Structure 1
Amino acid sequence: MKKSYPSILFLLFLMASFSVGYAQELNCQVNVESIQIESTERRVFEEMEVEFAKFLNDRKWAEERFENDERISCGINITLESQPSIGNFQATVQVVAARPVYNSTYEAVLINFADRDFNFEYTESQPLDFQPNTFLSNITSMLGFYAYMILANDYDSFENLGGQQYYEAAWQVVNNAQQSGFAGWDQFNSVRNRYWWAQNSIDQVMEPMREVTYEYHLKGLDLMAEDPETARTNILEALKKVQAVNRAKPRSIMIISFLDAKMDEIVSIFSQGNLAERREVYDILKALEPAKTEEFKKILEN
């Protein structure tokens, strides 16, 4: 199995190299790219990296106690695109989270999500306050939203539907921000924003996608070292569920996010093993993502 994926290699490197210094649930590296911003005061961008990481890593987001080696590896890469006024930033962000695979040194990507509406206000030495039931600022609401979504996906990967309370917490953050006027929180301007990702996560029609997270990881990847044939069979069954959900809600954000995180990994997993299964996986992926058909042919080459 491949150890990394070109589209997210940078963030995975940051996650792996980040020193352990916190005792909460997340082990998150924040990177702020500010090359497009014309400013002589660069300290604020360095401060963003430090303070956003502290906000995510120092705060307790879950009820359970996490040991240091249980903390969730994640990374947030913020690209500042413009500064319309002092302290006001238009940006995009890539959020990545991973979980360890049993009996291996491999970490599987759980989330690889691009947010095109990551716009916020921040000035030097600004306190980062957050309340789960109140909208205080767009930056803390966005960071809090991603903390909950990272936890929810991680819990779902170890226990069937185990992340429910954290999906509900993320949905509450969305509801709090509905009247803020900031982009990304409403259902009208995009089908690939925070609103729809959270809505998909609590939609009963999409619940099989959450079951896929459990079956793919715990019944698939975690078995790969000791029983690769059974692991591949279980992953194939999970992919059939993805296909069924896609028929009900074509190209929903939860399906797109799953494919963004898993496509390279699936190609690697099924580049060996039973040829009949490989052909079935190829057909499923080709139907889900026709534009990547040439890439999927690697599954059939061996």
Structure 2
Amino acid sequence: MRNCFRFALLLAGIFVFMANCLQAQEIRANVTVVANQVQGVDRKVFTTLQTALREFLNNRHWTDDAFTPAERIECNFLLNITGAIGENMYKASLTIQATRPVFNSSYVTSLLNTQDNNVAFRYVEFQQLEFSDTRVVGNDPMASNLTAIMAYYVNIILGLDYDSFSPRGGDAYFKKALNIVNNAPDGKDISGWKAYEGNRNRYWLQDNLLNAKFLNFHDVMYQYHRNGLDVMYEDVNRGRASIMNCLNLLYAIHQDIPNSMLMQTFYSAKADELQKIFSKAMPQEKMRAAELLAQMDVPNAQKYQQMK
């Protein structure tokens, strides 16, 4: 009888372990807080903030789907605090990077590599970091702004990742990002959420992602990854041909809406990769890719021209 009881306990433990694995959080985030430019503040505050942000990102369920530990999305958040703007209030820049594994290889491709220079927030050591989809602003706009920004970028990352695995798979998460923008904290030191504050901010990124004029971008995300990178292990030429088709789709968007934030964000993540992909292509294909990329991604034009 005792042995049966022990066996039942063992089975229960296995089921709990498996359930925890299947319900693993979606994000595996490495968080770094740098505050070398801030004077007169106990450095422990920023160490505590770093730990709190890491727990906020990694311990929260952001979707209703079950992720195994191996499926968690690898990402980096670098919060560079550049100064104090009041008691327990800071201004900062945030660099966000996220990657996706490529099928049948050890290679990971960049989904997002961007920097947000409009970060302002209030943080008191050991304060709880809170966020709610239904009440983004919270009780203190400056305290809520940091978690709202973090949640916004998590949803952008999720949307891009889901888009890369299924057609229009990321829509639900881009809409969550829109909800955060529409209900974002407001205050004199808070910026980046409104259209009139510039043409390269959180407002415009989610606007582009949900704008019908950029519909083909979502086809690009799927084709580039599933029909391009994911098949290159078996057939390099077929994978490269799919990515070439993606460049044609992107060029159509570029002709309609040049210099959009979404296109800039895409090339910030993919420029080096695209150069490597087409550097080994046949001369005619390489020349065509270099020509298209140099027109669409002017900051990296010289890099592409070297492929010819």
Aligned to 2:301: 293
1:204-283 to 2 correspondences below 5 Å: 204-283=212-291
- Give the match for residue 205 of structure 2: 197
Superposition misfits of 4+ residues, deviation over 3 angstroms: 178-181
Cα shift at 1:40: 4.5
1:218 partner SS? helix
- Residues 112-135 of structure 1 deviation map (CA, whole Å, 9 limit, x = unaligned): 111110111111011111110212
* Alpha-carbon distance between aligned partners in 2 of 1:91 and 1:178, rounded to the nearest angstrom: 16
Flag the 1:38–1:32 CA change in 2: closer, same or farther, 3 A.
same
Cα shift readout 1:66-100 (whole Å, capped 9, x = no counterpart):
00000000011111111021211111111000000
TM-score, length basis structure 1: 0.90
Cα deviation digits, residues 167-198 of structure 1 (max 9, x gap): 00010000001645520000011111101001
Aligned residue number for residue 124 of structure 1: 125
1:196 maps to a residue whose letter is W
In the comparison of the two structures, how many residue pairs are matched?
Answer: 280
Match of 2:82, SS state, is: strand
Q: Is the 8 A contact 2:145 2:185 kept in 1?
A: no
Does residue 149 in structure 1 map to residue 150 in structure 2?
A: no
Q: Match of 1:159, as an amino acid?
A: S
Instruction: Determine helix, strand or coil for the equivalent of 2:42.
Output: coil
1:140 deviates by 1.1
d(CA) in 2 for partners of 1:199, 1:290: 22
Q: 1:139 is matched with which residue?
A: 146
Distance 1:66 1:291, change over 3 A: closer
Could you say which structure has the larger radius of gyration? 2
1:59-98 matches, cutoff 5 A:
59-98=60-99
Partner Cα distance (2:157, 2:248) in 1: 24
Partner of 2:182: 175
1:106 aligned partner: 107
Counterpart contact for 1:178–1:186, Cα < 8 Å: no
Residue of structure 1 in register with 2:171 after alignment: 164
Distance 1:278 1:140 in 2: 43
Give 3-state SS (helix, strand or coil) of 2:183's partner.
helix
- Between the aligned partners of 1:247 and 1:64, the Cα distance in structure 2 is 37
Per the alignment, residue 14 of structure 1 pairs with none
**Equivalent AA in structure 1 for residue 282 of structure 2:** N
- Cα distance, 1:65–1:139 mapped onto 2, change above 3 Å: same
Identity across matched positions, percent:
32
Structure 2 residue matching 1:112: 3-state secondary structure: strand
Q: 1:34 offset after TM fit, Å?
A: 0.6
User: In the TM superposition, what is the alpha-carbon distance from 1:25 to its structure 2 partner?
Assistant: 0.3
Give unmatched runs, 5+ long, in structure 2: 1-20, 139-143
Mapped partners of 2:288, 2:99: distance in 1 = 27
